[in-house]
Amino acid sequence: MLFIKLPKSRCEILRKRLSKMDLLISNVKPLRYDDYIAFPVKESIKDVEDPEIKSLELLDIDSYEAMDLTKGSFKDYLKRYLNEEELKHISNGYDIYGSIAVIDIDNSLKDKAKLIAKALMDFDKRIKTVLAKKSAVSGAYRTREFSYIYGRRSYIAEHKENGCIFRYDIRKVFFSNRLAFERKRVYSLVKDHERVYVMFSGVAPFSIEIAKHTNADKILSAELNPYGHRYAIINCRLNNISYIDLDSKIDNRSLEAALSSKERMILINANVSDLSNLEAIDSYFDRIVMPLPRSTLLFLNEAYKAARDNATVHLYAFSDINNPFESIKRRILEHAEANGYKIEFLFERVVRNYSPQELEVVIDYRIIKNKKLLQDVK
């Protein structure tokens, strides 16, 4: 059985469209989360030509094998433990990191946190640890603080995705399992012998999935957070990916040697802006991935410098819910005009609802530097 993730901002419209196409399975309840609802769908969903439906993420039933789907949402399940007034302060969703669940506990329910956590572990048998969010995501490393509530006292998650496994400490690094569809989409676009640069690579999910599923010649994976870099090394080993490890004191000679070596994967614990100052990276890459939505537009120079003629960029950014793409495209075009190159936009998609006012979006575009190609685009 498959589930399709419908963003809440478009949920009812898309649900009706799926119903008219006779793709919904009516006897299994949908799964409700903070920013999307996952509806059970028929296998024929894979043959649909509707571009918006095709762009939505599909989840295999294996991901929910330990859940009793007849229970409905977690909020429904809590009706046996909490009264109506208390339920008003419960969100439908919770975040899963391997066997760790992270929930929001309202101040009015602090004394019932353990009860809620126990109920969650009964509702979803995958969960062995329940934590609560203690702070917002912040800082250069995009991390947050957590408080322990119930279960096994652990902060080390293991997440399986697209045939790969990723281990990480949720207190020390940023990882989003909600980008699984995007990682698959990107690696499915990588052509044989491409050179790929993953900026802000974290524990290396984009990089490792590209290495695992494609014949890319080179994958440069750059991450500033030393903990992220450490777990990228661990994850390469877990997924049987050989690699070269370059530390933060990298110079042009060592990077040039790594790029000319037989190893496909290069892991670097360094700032993307510092790497941009090295000649070895100039006009080297066919594809650039930029998964830093809060500030990725500040690194258009770095992407342009690293891109070969006709390179493809996958840029992730937060945007206003009422104007998801145009303002970002305008920034990209302004940078291109100021630096004497052209842009061809290839694809755009809402990745997820981030907040009531913000979306995370992806825009794929091509950088055209070649003078002859510039004339053709004019």
Supply φ then ψ for residue 101, to 5 degrees. -110, 140
Under the banding of pLDDT at 50, 70 and 90, the label for residue 45 is confident
> What is the model's pLDDT at position 66?
42
Q: Could you give all domains of the chain from N- to C-terminal order, each with its CATH number?
A: 2-63 (3.30.70.2580), 73-154 (3.30.300.110), 174-377 (3.40.50.150)
CA distances 371 to 306, 340, 378, Å, are: 18, 10, 11
Phi, psi of 264 (to 5 degrees): -85, -40
Name the 3-class secondary structure at 313: strand
Contact assessment for residue 163 and residue 212, using Cβ atoms and an 8 Å cutoff: yes
The mean predicted confidence, pLDDT, of the chain is: 89
- Residue that is written with structure tokens 């290495």 in the block: 211
Sign (positive/negative) of CA torsion 343, 348, 354, 355? positive
Task: Using alpha carbons, select from 224, 230, 206, 240 the residue that is nearest to residue 156.
Answer: 230
Question: From CA 102, how far away is CA 144, in angstroms rounded?
Answer: 11
Please tell me whether residue 196 adopts helix, strand or coil conformation.
strand
Report CA-CA distances (Å) from 257 to 142, 220, 227, 251, 260.
31, 13, 25, 10, 5
Q: Give the ranges where the chain is alpha helix by DSSP (H).
A: 11-20, 51-55, 74-77, 84-87, 113-123, 180-189, 205-213, 226-238, 252-259, 272-275, 300-306, 326-339, 371-377
User: CA 182 to CA 282: how far, in whole Å?
Assistant: 26
Q: What is the mean pLDDT of residues 64-84?
A: 70
Task: For 277-310, write each residue's pLDDT tens digit.
Answer: 999 999 999 999 999 999 999 999 999 999 999 9
Percent of the chain whose pLDDT exceeds 70? 93
Length of the chain: 378
* Mean pLDDT computed over 269-275: 94
Both tokens of residue 190? 């990588």
The structure tokens listed for 152 are 């096994």
Using CA atoms, how far apart are residues 248 and 101, in angstroms rounded to an integer?
A: 33
**% of the chain beyond a pLDDT of 90:** 61
Q: Which two tokens stand for residue 89?
A: 């302060």
What is the pLDDT confidence band of residue 34, given thresholds at 50, 70 and 90?
low
61 pLDDT above the threshold of 50: no
- The band of 248, judged by pLDDT with boundaries at 50, 70 and 90, is low
Band of residue 325 on the pLDDT scale cut at 50, 70, 90: very high
For the segment 131-143, what is each residue's pLDDT rounded down to a tens digit? 999 988 888 888 9
Q: Is 225 helix (H, G, I), strand (E, B) or coil?
A: coil
